Amino acid sequence: MPSFYELYRSSTLGTALTDSLDELIQAGHITPQLAIQVLEQYDKSISEALSNKVKAKATVKGNLGIYRFCDEVWTFVVKNPTFKFDHEGTSADKRLSGVTSFAMSTLMALVVVISLTTPFIPSSPTFDVSLHNVQTTTGRAMDPFDRTSRKAEYARLTFDLDADLSTMFNWNTKLLFAYMTVDYTTPGFETNRVVIWDRIIRNKRQAKLKLRKHHNKYALRNHPLTFEDVEGANLTLHINPVPYLGVMYDKPMVSLPFTIPRPTKPAANKA
């Protein structure tokens, strides 16, 4: 009667186990001594399987195909402390992959920290806005792309602006975007906002603004062509810091309420 060792040698299960052990030894994942212990454990499991008529259940996919093991053998291989996994290799590409993965993870964590902490960096900008005059006229120079330009009402603001925004520059500030808006309400729309002036500030030298009797850079008109239904207006200075890393956010600095008057006389239309 053949021994259990000869029995598994002549079976498909035994051949697969032998091939897998040879592969693991050649790859340096297990030692020959561990392979011998595996074979002894396999002999024992085969004996118990034959006596109890239990079939092998565990399977694992390797380079040589699908290997089938008895539960006792597979548990023995995985739990053995001398078993070496593939990620412990010493090849240059694996080490480079590990270093690159760690560097990318660290970089992403640093970006998240910078994005979350930048808005809380202290700054003390100073600003003062004063409105001298608001004049409303009907019609303006003919716009070939807008047939309503002759009928619409346009508001012209005259304002002063003194601001020192240099303290808003820090190591994560690429530039500042300053702009002024006119916000007002009408019966049809609760919120209306028109940008009338803006400026890009690229460094601390440009962060000191001093405007005297400055007019709105962009036209101010209402969608229904008249300001008759405007219930109230506010002139607001906004500062939008643009960071190197992180999200942009808007900072309304100061808001000045005013009233848009009715037009005094029609403006002269030019052909």
Query: Quick one: pLDDT band at residue 76, thresholds 50, 70, 90?
Result: very low
pLDDT digits (tens, 9 = 90+) for 153-208: 999 999 999 999 999 999 899 999 999 999 999 888 888 999 999 999 999 999 99
**Average pLDDT in the chain:** 77
pLDDT digits (tens, 9 = 90+) for 86-143: 444 456 777 888 888 989 999 888 888 888 888 888 889 998 999 999 999 887 655 6
What span, in angstroms and rounded, lies between the C-alpha atoms of 112 and 117?
A: 9
Query: Quick one: pLDDT band at residue 256, thresholds 50, 70, 90?
Result: very high
Domains annotated on the chain, with CATH: 4-88 (1.10.287.190), 123-258 (2.60.40)
Show the tokens assigned to 8. 């598994």
Query: Is the separation of the CB atoms in 129 and 235 below 8 Å?
Result: yes
